[in-house]
Amino acid sequence: MDDTPTLIPIPAVGIVCLKGDEVLLIRRGTPPRLGEWSLPGGRIEPGERAVDAALRELREETGVTARILGLIDVVDGLFPDEGRHYVLIDYLAVWSAGTPVAGDDATEAVFVPLAEAAERVAWSETRRIIAAAVALRDVGRRSDPA
């Protein structure tokens, strides 16, 4: 018999909130990746749309509001040592209002320059998602007729 624990996928969201050439990061106050810098996000509540969950988590963890620009990617966050498997739906957003203040599951919340974010964030998938968000934003800027 296999003693490997069964990891049940948990639907969750992440949000890359950009303000100019800065990205909003939080320091995680709960597992997985406790104490590491990451993106605001969390579980989708029953009956909640994923995009609404992303904006809610952003407000709860940072006090910031933003406008969603689009979907970046879907990532499997497999953390077998912690018994967790998150299916992370990551969105790109641009800051609308608010000064970051840590709340909910975050112990810190701050906008940091994109180059600094790459140094702070330990998980390669988060670094990849931030880079993909910037590329998506920049494509949108080039195609904007304004």
The one catalytic residue in 108, 116, 119, 125 is 108
Q: How far apart are CA 17 and CA 4, in angstroms?
A: 37
Q: What sign does the CA torsion over 95, 9, 75, 82 have?
A: positive
Both tokens of residue 39?
């993106």
Neighbours of 111 (CB within 10 A): 20
60 catalytic, yes or no? no
- Left (φ > 0), alpha (ψ -120 to 50) or beta: where does 131 sit? alpha
Active site residues: 108
